Amino acid sequence: MAIKRRLATQTRFANGLIRVMSQSRLFPAMEYQSLDVVRQEDEFMGDTLNTFKWGVSNGTGNAAADPVIPGTLVVNGVCDFVTGDAGGSTASSELTGGLTFRGDHGAVIVACLTVDIVTGVKIEFGFTDALADPGAVATKATPSFNATDCALWVFDTDDSGTGWEGLAANNGTTNPMTTLTPSTGAISPVAATYEWLMIELIENDDGNSQCAVEYSLFTADGRRIFNEVAGQVDDQGPNSNVLLTPWLYVEDRNGNSKTMSVDYFGAYQYRTAVQ
């Protein structure tokens, strides 16, 4: 009797994949689908946001609202963050994913987002170590932090509108990573235009348990327009052994409510520490 074809269950793990395709350029893509990779992601489909998966909050100012899937659904799904018009951290909306990611697991975070107004606004995206800060970054220009450990893309028009910049803090240090400013010039959000942002933590200092941080920006159709690794001097990114949460935060700066719309949000890491 012929043996019926079966699913290749042994290749659900990276070790199994290595045995059959270690020389293939497809291995990294296949490894991402393996059980060795933990994924927390959302396309924001359906009628309501899954608040068992995500934590939501707002600054409690006038008309500020928790992130929500809007009543009028759109193609591909979306989550809207409405700041309200109180100005400052009381005019904010944020989403977190739980303190379950670490730098020594090679954590990566990705989002596709847009904001309707790019004046008088602050946006933070990345990893941070607290679930309810009034912004992980206290002052971008200095910089100073409410977070103890974090790695973030930040856009803040209170800092001369310099475009997206990479900021990171390590163990509450008063000497944080030098702010990463794209050498190609300011890369700023364009109103009502989606773009992709990505951050990867690279644990490469076993002695001090610290991370470097890789920052990438992509157009809506996935063309990478910026990529650079920062914090390699004394690895000034977040401590690799500190639990971090995925973080999306938007704040009104000038008394005019903003809406940030997120088409996709996801974070990934190896199930065990990277060796």
- What one-character-per-residue DSSP string does 26-69 give? THHHHHHTSTTEEEEEE---SSS--TTT-EEEE--STT-EEEE-
Phi, psi torsion values for 105, nearest 5 degrees:
-100, 10
Report the pLDDT value the prediction gives residue 201, as an integer from 0 to 100: 96
**pLDDT for res 27:** 87
**Residue 108 is inside which H or E element, if any?**
strand 108-115
Please report the sign of the dihedral spanned by the C-alpha atoms of residue 94, residue 98, residue 99, residue 105.
negative
**Residues 146-164: tens digit of each pLDDT:** 999 999 999 999 997 679 9
- Indicate whether 81 pLDDT > 60: yes
Q: Where in the chain is the domain with CATH 2.60.120.200?
A: 39-270
Q: Could you tell me if 55 and 248 are in contact, meaning their C-beta atoms sit under 8 angstroms apart?
A: no
Q: What percent of the chain is predicted at pLDDT more than 90?
A: 72
Of the two residues 8 and 79, the one the predictor is more confident about is 79
Per-residue model confidence as pLDDT tens digits over 192-218: 999 999 999 998 766 668 899 999 999
Q: What is the pLDDT of residues 87-128, one digit of tens each?
A: 999 999 999 999 999 999 999 999 999 999 999 999 999 999
pLDDT over threshold 80, residue 174? no
Q: What is the pTM of this model?
A: 0.94
Confidence of residue 235 (pLDDT cuts 50, 70, 90): low
Q: How far apart are the first and last CA of the chain?
A: 45
Can you tell me the mean pLDDT for 81-87? 97
Judge whether residue 267 has pLDDT over 60. Answer: yes
pLDDT at 57: 97
Q: What is the pLDDT of residues 15-52, one digit of tens each?
A: 888 888 878 999 888 899 899 999 999 999 989 999 99
pLDDT of residue 6: 72
Residue 207 confidence (pLDDT): 67
86 φ/ψ angles, rounded to the nearest 5 degrees: -75, -20
At 10 the pLDDT is 81
Write the class of the CATH domain 39-270. Answer: mainly beta
